[in-house]
Amino acid sequence: MNQIKLIPTIYLYKGKAVDEGGATLLGDGDAVRIALCFDNNGADEILIYDISSTDREHEANISTIINIADNVDIPMLVGGNVKRLEDVKKYIYTGAKKAILSLKNNQELIKEASERFGSENISILLDTDIEKLSCNKGLYSLVISDKVIATDDEVLLTNCNDVYNLTPDNSLYGVSSDIFNENFDFMELKHKLKESGLAVNTFETDMKFSDFKTNSDGMIPVIVQDYKTSQVLMLAYMNEEAFNLTIKTGRMTYFSRSRNELWVKGETSGHYQFVKELSMDCDLDTMLAKVRQIGVPCHTGADTCFFNNLVKKEYDNTNPIKVFEDVYNVILDRKKNPKEGSYTNYLFDKGIDKILKKVGEEATEIVIAAKNPDPQEVKYEISDFLYHVMVLMAEKGVTWKEITKELSRR
């Protein structure tokens, strides 16, 4: 049985989240914040519709979709305002899992897009002529419809009015509904659907709390890390009830030894921790939790609870991404706070043409160095090239976070 996905919808107009008609902002209209709420609350994917009417509005929406992709971990299905192949390309390049094309009057474009980008990246919105589905077979990977249809294709059912009473259906890819707002608890719905016999994506573990080696109080310590940076955030304790609630809700829940009660991290402060990964050590007596931290983890306002240094010895931190970020931050600082005699400021002062010229020159130097037997020369030239690329990144406002996010999609 296929897992049924819960897929909320965001309508975009002029870069803002609006209602389906486009007339009213949803809350503050911050589509990125709303998408993060969907992700944190357990949605499986996000359906995004561009309802712009001009090219300028369309570009504003594209920028917002890119920002959403940079901030959420769940896939996006993106459509609306697709008039030509270039529009499909823009959606695919935002990081969308699939681009959505309307079946109406788009027969040739669907075929062309399928051949160019692969049918697995194309979905069709079925708003007319159901009988034409068969002639498009193989040109798309998903049908998006507001009604149940008899088809062998996987179907995403939009405007589903009764998400609590779904029935098993191998053709049902997922559902979207008007009740899926930013505060909706998708994990709670998933557990209700699971109880009724449907396959859904919930946290599953083959281990029970009774498999762990607890301390004398019946608890285990939990080391908490940021899931992207691996920074250690805090240490807390779980008993069996806290463990079960963490698995069920996807929010880190602990047991307070001082207050002798359960506590959901962030319940009063808003600084929730959303589960990304849980693992146990070799002795099964300590848990490692990788989380998305909202706000800060420490009651002092610090970004880690571990800030009181006892001893520290200088060492060479060659963590690649940290080195890149540190060098990039120095370059950004030079751009904001020019320093006399700085070569970096010389490049910024000369402008984009000079920066591009140096990037091209350094790329050529790599090619020349690679023809020589000494690998050290290649190392030096690649380092020079990367420095100049980072100057270009700073000039164009591109970050390492954006680069690594894009590379992870490849």
Residues of the chain with CATH 3.20.20.70: 5-195
* Structure confidence at residue 147 (pLDDT): 75
- Determine the topology of domain 209-293 in CATH: Ubiquitin-like (UB roll) (3.10.20)
One-letter amino acid for residue 164 of the chain: Y
Render pLDDT for 265-319 as a digit per residue (tens, 0 to 9): 999 999 999 999 999 999 999 999 999 999 999 999 999 999 999 998 887 767 7
- Say how far apart CA 233 and CA 290 lie, in whole Å: 10
Identify whether the C-beta of residue 281 lies closer than 8 Å to the C-beta of residue 266: no
CATH architecture of the region 320-409: Orthogonal Bundle (1.10)
Residues of the chain with CATH 3.10.20.810: 209-293
pTM: 0.82
Directed axis angle between helix 400-409 and helix 320-336, to 10°? 140
Q: Which residue has the tokens 């962030």?
A: 266
* Structure confidence at residue 178 (pLDDT): 92
* Structure confidence at residue 149 (pLDDT): 65
- Long-range contacts of range 347-351, CB-CB < 8 Å, 24 or more positions apart? 347/388, 347/391, 348/391, 348/395
CB-based contacts of 73, cutoff 8 Å, min separation 6:
39, 276
* Structure confidence at residue 104 (pLDDT): 81
Residues of the chain with CATH 1.10.287.1080: 320-409
* Structure confidence at residue 21 (pLDDT): 85
* Structure confidence at residue 131 (pLDDT): 62
* Structure confidence at residue 315 (pLDDT): 76
Assigned superfamily of 5-195:
Aldolase class I (3.20.20.70)
Q: pLDDT means per 10 residues in the chain (410 residues)?
A: 90 94 88 97 96 91 94 94 91 93 86 92 80 74 79 84 85 92 95 92 92 96 95 97 96 95 95 97 98 96 94 79 90 94 95 96 95 89 96 94 80
